[in-house]
Structure formats: structure tokens, C-alpha cells
Amino acid sequence: MSKANMNQASVQDPKIVGPVAEQLLSHLEDEKASLGAMLNAVRDVHFALRDLDDEALRKSLVDEARELSASTKMQQRRRQLQNKLATILDVAPQDVTLKRLLAVTSGSVRESVETVWRSLTEMAREMDRLNRQNAAMISLSLSIARGVIERLTGVTAVSESYNAIGARSETHVGPLIQWGG
């Protein structure tokens, strides 16, 4: 292969190596730790809801809020790294994904990115499952409370639920059998 062809190939296929690779791996480990801490907080909320433990629920909600605040800082750091990598890869920052990073890394760096990606995926699935179960427990508790109010007052309690963007939403989140253990 001629020197011109080798230069053209390296321009078309940039690789993440050296200090940038080290920064990427360090950041991915921080992402993993951050998501792990958030997952632990969500688990604590789940157990407190399941066990009807008011004190544990108060503590776990404080912990969850703290981890959410920390995740906001992590998002800022992620955007900064995405911008840096986007410049190197000559792509838009939003196109700097773990899938793309796998394509531009090799050897132990690639293996580390794959390992962190699998771990983040597993934690995200677990967090989604726990959040759905938490929502189901809260929905059931609200339904029971509405039933008690109706029996005590003779008035049908009508309240509306809203989703994260403020639109009206259905409060049903699934049957009790989906809760798991």
C-alpha cells in the first residue's frame, strides 16, 4: 500500500488511542459508577415501598435526589467528551455513541468499551424494571386510598394523572402479577 493510500485510509478511519482512549475509558467507568449509584438508590426506594417503610423511603428518596443531581454533572461531562470525540471523528456530537466508539477502537480499549456497554445496558434495564414496579406500587396505593375515601365520604374521588411533560395520562401501569419479587 502506498503512503498516500495509507494516509487516506487513516483519515477515513480515525482511531481513538493514547490519552484520548484513557480519558474515554476513565469517563465510561465514571458513567458506570454513576448509573450504579442511581440504580442502588432506585432499589432502596423499591424496597422501602415494598416493605411500607416510611423512614427508609424518606432516606432513599433523599439519596435518589442526590444521585440525580450528580447525574446532571455527569451529563455535562459526557457532552464535553462527546464534543471532543466528535472533533476527532469528524462527526456531529450526537453521533458519538458507544456503537460508534466500538468501531473506532481496537484491542483492550474496545474490549473495555464493550464491557462497560454491557454493564450499562444491564443496569439500565434493571432500573427501568424497578421504576415500573415502583410506579405500579404507587398506583395501587393511590387506588386503594381513593377507594377508602369513596367508602368514607360516599363521593367518587376523581383525580387526573399527568406524565413527565404535563400531559394527561392513564394511571394504570399493569397488573399486580408483574411486580416480581
Indicate whether this model's pTM tops 0.85: no
DSSP secondary structure of 44-84: HHHHHHHHT-HHHHHHHHHHHHHHHHHHHHHHHHHHHHHHH
**The total number of structural domains that make up the chain:** 1
For every one of its 181 residues, what pLDDT tens digit does the chain have, with 9 covering 90 and above?
444 444 444 444 568 888 999 999 999 999 999 999 999 999 999 999 999 999 999 999 898 888 888 888 889 999 999 999 999 999 999 999 989 999 899 899 999 999 999 999 999 999 999 999 999 988 888 888 888 888 888 777 555 555 555 565 554 443 333 333 3
The range of the structural domain enclosing residue 163 comes to 3-179
Residue 38: other Cβ atoms inside 10 A:
21
Sign of CA dihedral 94, 99, 104, 107: positive
